[in-house]
Amino acid sequence: MGMRPIGTAEELERRRRRAVELVKWGESPSKVAYFLGCGRSSVYTWLKAEREAPETLAARPHPGPPPRLSDEQIGELEGLLLKGSRAHGWPNDLWSAHRVAEVIRRHFGVSYHVEHVRKLIRRRPSWSSQRPQKKARQRNEAKTTN
């Protein structure tokens, strides 16, 4: 099936334990599966789990949304990006969404989808794709030499 069955973690745990109990009392896994409205393979999985690692039958609360960077971390990230991508080991100073995502993963241990990184960049015009500004740099150098 692949999809998480409906019910709270506790209800699901109760169902798993009930399935194991019924089979132990002599009911066939097929009947138990039908009775509890689940797949027969699930019943076998729970029986095996109960034998080998009973704690795996326990209720597991559904994980919440994936962790995101705090405003403070976003500030820290900005500092990391301002050093340029060469400082982070890339061959040129071009920030792509992929590279920014990689910096976030390395420094904060948080995995961002590349599309989400693009949105993040768009919201902060100061970072946008930070292409190396060679022309501006050359102009500034010309000014300082006069």
Question: What average pLDDT does the structure give for the chain?
Answer: 79
Q: Are residues 95 and 53 in the same domain?
A: no
Residue 64 lies in a domain: no
pLDDT tier at 11 (50, 70, 90 boundaries)? Answer: confident
Q: What is the pLDDT of residue 38?
A: 85
Q: Are residues 90 and 52 in the same domain?
A: no
Q: List the domain range (segments joined by +) for residue 88.
A: 71-145
**Residue 124 reports pLDDT greater than 80:** no
Q: What is the pLDDT of residue 2?
A: 47
Q: Are residues 119 and 82 in the same domain?
A: yes
The two tokens of residue 40 are 């027969």
For residues 130 and 90, what is the distance between their CA atoms, to the nearest angstrom? 14
Residue 132 lies in a domain: yes
The two tokens of residue 32 are 């138990």
DSSP of 54-90: GGGGS--PPP-SPP---HHHHHHHHHHHHT-GGGGT-
Q: In 25-133, where do the E strands start and end?
A: none
Residue 96 lies in a domain: yes
**Residue 142 reports pLDDT greater than 80:** no
Is the pTM for the entire model greater than 0.85? no
Residue 20 lies in a domain: yes
Q: Are residues 76 and 130 in the same domain?
A: yes
